[in-house]
Structure 1
Amino acid sequence: MDKKITRTTKRKRMRMKKLILFGSLFVVFIGIAWASTNYYSFKKALVKMNGSEEIKGASNMATSDQTPHSEPFSVLLLGIDERKSDSGRTDTMIVATVNPEIGTIKMLSIPRDSRVDIIGNNTTEKINHAYARGGISMTINTVEHLLSIPIHYYVAVNMEGFLSIIDVVDGIEINNDMDLAHGKYSFPKGKITLNGDEALVFSRIRYEDPRGDFGRQVRQKQLLEALLSEAKNPKILLQLNDIFKVLGDNVKMNFTASQLMDLQKLYGKLDGKIEQLQFENGVGQTIDKYWYYILDEEEVNQVSEELSEHLGV
């Protein structure tokens, strides 16, 4: 009797061990398949993002040899409003300088209506026209001339498509600093949750905000910070395939895979250490029926010196 019980118990234990082993192997297999799929999705997205496909005006844009985890570098962030039958405009233009040694980022928002020399086009007009005239390379040349600093990297984002990533992560929450409304959309003051369509409208509001372009810059920074915050949520691992697809379809840049890994090393060190810069002393002026933001030359020089010092140039 005891022997029978012992044999039965041993058989049950053996079956249990087999089930555990099978289950473990299945989990490992699923894990490997998941990781492989995400790695493939990442590589596929990177090919599309870093220039292997045609990028407007960026055919001659070389990858920078700056090492992001150890050397100061600059990034030009472009939010592009590209619509059918339109050559596109840079709806948002931000210059970010990063100093890994002291662990800080300075971000300068350039008003889209700033009247500047468009380098390579021999015209003086709104800075957001540079992309329409000559794409990313002409935009970079124009910004470098304006600020007298080198631009090492660029990230160009199709805003309408990119903000669909907010739907992938099931919306984002921000603290809205004032009541705003646009068309059928209403954004009350306080904490609000936005989906992709709402975030796109929220990011574009200008005329309904008494701060104009400056208020829009504040909201766009809020959206960026909210998305970065979502990146810390563990559930994002289950959404990587969809996220990589959105990035591949809507983001262009000249970071390589190894440079992106270098950036990842900096993430924790730089988190929350962003200083926001703005041009505030300029004036509005109508010239030949067009409204421009006329930058204050002294303020431009001061900002240029601050960014140059941050980059160590």
Structure 2
Amino acid sequence: MPIRAILVKYGIYIVLLLLVFFFSVASDAFLSVDNLLNILRQVSIVGIVAVGMTFVILTAGIDLSIGSIIGVSAVLAAKLMLFGVHPALAFVLTLVAGIVIGLVNTYFIHEIQIPALIVTLATLTALRGIAYIITGGLPVYGLPEGYSFIGQGYVMGIPVPVILMLACFAVGYFVLEKTRFGRYVYGVGSNEEASRLSGVNVRKIKYIAYCLSGFLSALAGLVLLSRVNSGQPTAGTGYELDVIIGVVLGGVSMNGGEGRISGVITGILIMGVLTNGMILLNISEYYQLVVKGAVLLLAVSLDYVSKKRRVKVAHT
């Protein structure tokens, strides 16, 4: 196999290995078991949301509201429990709220035909405002003692958030790779009109994709709430950037219809390793933002260059 083909197929995995090697040499603490588990715990919330974002981007959409859904879900669940609602019921009601937000997003995107970028940017802003209204701008404390297990507990030495992330990736992989719905998701992203003419219910596919994104964002908000043990109105701020970087870096095309969930896992791990390594090396948070922005620009550029080359080859 030519070197170029190897880099195209396995490049993202090579990048991950190189990053691990570099930071393990640069910092003695990087390869410790505690730090590796910490990396997995840190990326777990982003990873959970990334599964839903993968479905959305595969349909050639985008969901910028995920960070605000995380925040409003965290404060909503915290307030419900503070008012005496059983934690299990608060959990379910919050997940339902995430689905409802997904329905609202899809309604304006598909029925009103407003670009997904505009719709989800609007809900991002509105939901963040709702989070502040619910809390009065103050953190919500006083959660039930047992609730912290979801974000801070361990099962056989593995953090619970990591288990939830892996479960989400496993289900996402099965749905995309082994089911008819997964094939339809790829079809809608590749050519929506052709999918419609083939009898695919495009409307249904889009609704499910955005509702899944809302559901998993709400789940991430519940995990984050348990992890910090308080409902913060600012929770989830900026997460949309980390999620999109991880998904696109993992090989999912912003044009839709291309990408694999296995690549997304690797993309999320790359961002986690990069962030953790820079923290261990005491690199300023300001520089970390520059690096994240550069990585996103590079990933999207590679996606568009690759797309143009495939189109050029197809026409020759």
Q: TM-score range by the shorter chain?
A: under 0.3
TM-score (norm 1): 0.25
Which structure shows the bigger proportion of residues in strand conformation? 1
Which structure shows the bigger proportion of residues in helix conformation? 2
TM-score (norm 2): 0.25
